[in-house]
Structure 1
Amino acid sequence: MSQHVNGVIARAKGAPVEVVTIVVPDPGPGEALVKVEACGVCHTDLHYREGGINDEFPFLLGHEAAGTVEAVGEGVTDVAPGDFVILNWRAVCGECRACKRGEPQYCFATHNATQRMTLEDGTELSPALGIGAFCEKTLVAAGQCTKVDSSAPATAAGLLGCGVMAGVGAAINTGGVKRGQSIAVIGCGGVGAAAIAGARIVGAAKIIAIDFDDRKLGLAEEFGATHTINSKDLDLDGVVAAVQDLTGGFGADVVVEAVGRPETYQQAFYARDLAGTVVLVGVPNPEMTLELPLIDVFGRGGALKSSWYGDCLPSRDFPLLIDLFQQGRFPLDKFVTETIGIGDVEAAFDKMHRGEVLRSVVTLP
């Protein structure tokens, strides 16, 4: 029997979000019904509201979530009712060319629940990243549920579902930063701060945080930055020179660009050492273009990479990071700036715009 619960939708491009009644069906084959306990407010949710992802309105927003499995459909064996899980948007298929070559973190056929949640009038909803977790209960593919230790607070654990994992993975999985190396992170919001925390986990020797907001640079130091650069009054050459000054004149081994703009990508490109690695994890908009001298792309060598979800494998990475958090080695809870109610999402978007929070987290009864 379907259930009626409260959830947050974006009905039209740019319109304020609304709390409405959502109809959630019972899980079918391969699906799981999850009682959501907490869900972070991510920039991606705002991109959905603004029509920056696609135009399949109305959207059921929210995706950085943790909660408890309430029911599962036929054929589900990896999770069971009562399991505490983090939701993810990479339910690997096991059959595509990436999975078959042993690289499921690059699965090209990730999937979501087959059934759709709806409004009371039957209008089908498009769940953000196939999750839709600004909702008391949500229906997902069972593979989108990753079981972790239930003693972890849902408010912190859920953030691994997107932004924190994207940042940590950009530094460790995509960038491959190693013990003793140098890394620079451009943009120190939630994703950038997570990249800094990830670099600290693996023992990077020099971790350089770059932003034009002193508040964010202060937080970056708390997450492990060894040096900070305020780029407010610096042009491309100024940022590059500042990084080189901190790295013996060479540039950083790895540079993570967590903004998603052409000008900051250029900073990242030139601030890396020869044969170094640039990782783009900031999300650009479709109108942005990038121009670089091709001779510089050739002459500097190294690697230019994009990081999709931090190249993570949830079944591998989520439990590991929860364990590190519980050991006091990964400050996951520091990403939670405030906890809010389900009716406060629109105000949280405003705070995010003003750079006042790393993460507002919706808690659900």
Structure 2
Amino acid sequence: MPQEVRAVIARAKGEPVETVTIVVPDPGPGEVVVEVQACGVCHTDLHYREGGISDDFPFLLGHEAAGVVESVGEGVTEVAPGDFVVLNWRAVCGRCRACTRGRPWYCFDTHNAKQRMTLTDGTELTPALGIGAFAEKTLVAAGQCTKVDPAASPAAAGLLGCGVMAGLGAAVNTGGVGRGDSVAVIGCGGVGCAAVAGAKLAGAGRIIAVDIDDDKLALARTLGATHTVNSRTQDPVEAVRELTGGHGADVVIEAVGRPETYQQAFYARDLAGTVVLVGVPTPEMKVELPLLDVFGRGGALKSSWYGDCLPSRDFPVLIDLHLQGRLPLDAFVTGTVGLDGVEEAFARMHRGDVLRTVVEL
């Protein structure tokens, strides 16, 4: 029977979010209802509120979540009621050209629940990234649920659902950081700090964190950075080269998404090195690089989609590493709020003094 639960929506562009009652339908074939325990407040949720993703208002916000499966629809075998799961926004299809070539982390036909959650008057809601987890319960596709060890705290585990996985995967999966490599990370917000943690996990020998904020650089040090560069006062390209014997880093991860920082990343890498773009640019941004430099420096210029992760493969392993004390997911949780605190969390995000505020239910 459909259920009424509390949730946070963005009703119109730029307006403050609202806590309202929504209707969650029973799960249909291939669908799951999850009782949400925690959900991180991500920049993407703010982009939805500001109309930067689409204009398909009203949006049901929240997507970086963990919780417990309450009920499943027909044909669901991946999870069962009572399972502790992390939600993801890339449920792979298993049939597209990427999946059939053995590269499901690039799946070109990811999917969500077919039914829509609604307001009590029947107005359909658009769930953020197909999840909508600023809610006591949410309806998702079964493939968006990954079962993990319930010993992990929901607040920490849920962060794998977006930002932490994006940054960590940019280092480990996309960048292929290996033992002894030198790595530079430009931009040390939540995603950049996760890239630092990923580089440490992969055994990098030198990890250089670059940002304009000393507090963020200090936090990057706690997560594994061996050196820091404040690019307000130092040329980041020259600083990275100086710290790598004059050569540049083997892997440079750009976690800002701006043309000027991408150019810094390009020139801060070693010959035949790798640049990974995980920061998200806006549509009007363009990069100009001399084509001879692109050719002459060799190596690889890559973009990282969600850390090129495969949730069913990566989430359980990363939770296990967290529980072993090798991946400090708890360090990314700056503070917690209830459902009524989302607007406050957006304000803190604007001030830049958090990695993640987490909504706990």
**Bin of the TM-score, shorter chain as denominator length:** over 0.9
Aligned letter for 2:162?
Answer: C
Asked whether the equivalents of residues 52 and 285 of structure 1 are also in contact (C-alpha less than 8 Å), the reply is no
Aligned letter for 1:320?
Answer: V
Query: What displacement does 1:13 show?
Result: 1.1
State the alpha-carbon separation in 1 of the partners of residues 35 and 198 from structure 2.
29
Tell me how large the CA RMSD over aligned residues is: 0.6
Match of 1:301 among 298, 312, 315: 298
SS at match of 2:23: strand
Aligned letter for 1:50?
Answer: E
Q: For structure 2, which runs of at least 5 residues remain unmatched after alignment? A: none
State the alpha-carbon separation in 1 of the partners of residues 168 and 290 from structure 2.
30
Mapping for residues 21-100 of structure 1, pairs under 5 Å: 21-100=21-100
Aligned letter for 2:291?
Answer: L
Aligned letter for 1:270?
Answer: Y
Query: What displacement does 1:306 show?
Result: 0.6
Q: For structure 1, which runs of at least 5 residues remain unmatched after alignment? A: none
Query: What displacement does 1:292 show?
Result: 1.2
Q: TM-score, normalised by structure 1?
A: 0.98
State the alpha-carbon separation in 2 of the partners of residues 232 and 18 from structure 1.
38
Q: 2:268 matched to which residue of 1?
A: 271
State the alpha-carbon separation in 1 of the partners of residues 47 and 270 from structure 2.
33
Asked whether the equivalents of residues 41 and 361 of structure 1 are also in contact (C-alpha less than 8 Å), the reply is yes
Aligned letter for 1:163?
Answer: G
Mapping for residues 145-294 of structure 1, pairs under 5 Å: 145-234=145-234, 238-294=235-291
Match of 2:311 among 311, 314, 326: 314
Aligned letter for 1:63?
Answer: H
Query: What displacement does 1:52 show?
Result: 1.1
SS at match of 1:337: strand
Aligned letter for 1:16?
Answer: P
Query: What displacement does 1:121 show?
Result: 1.1
Query: What displacement does 1:295 show?
Result: 1.3
Q: TM-score, normalised by structure 2?
A: 0.99
Mapping for residues 330-349 of structure 1, pairs under 5 Å: 330-349=327-346
Aligned length: 361
SS at match of 1:349: helix
Query: What displacement does 1:233 show?
Result: 3.0
State the alpha-carbon separation in 2 of the partners of residues 106 and 5 from structure 1.
34
Superposed CA deviations along residues 199-236 of structure 1, whole A, max 9, x for unmatched, are 001110000000010000000000000000001134xx
Deviation >3 Å, runs of 4+? none
Aligned letter for 1:319?
Answer: P
Query: What displacement does 1:50 show?
Result: 1.1
Superposed CA deviations along residues 114-168 of structure 1, whole A, max 9, x for unmatched, are 0000111111111000000000000000000000011110010000000000000
State the alpha-carbon separation in 2 of the partners of residues 258 and 27 from structure 1.
37
1:115 to 2:115 alignment:
yes
1:106 to 2:103 alignment:
no
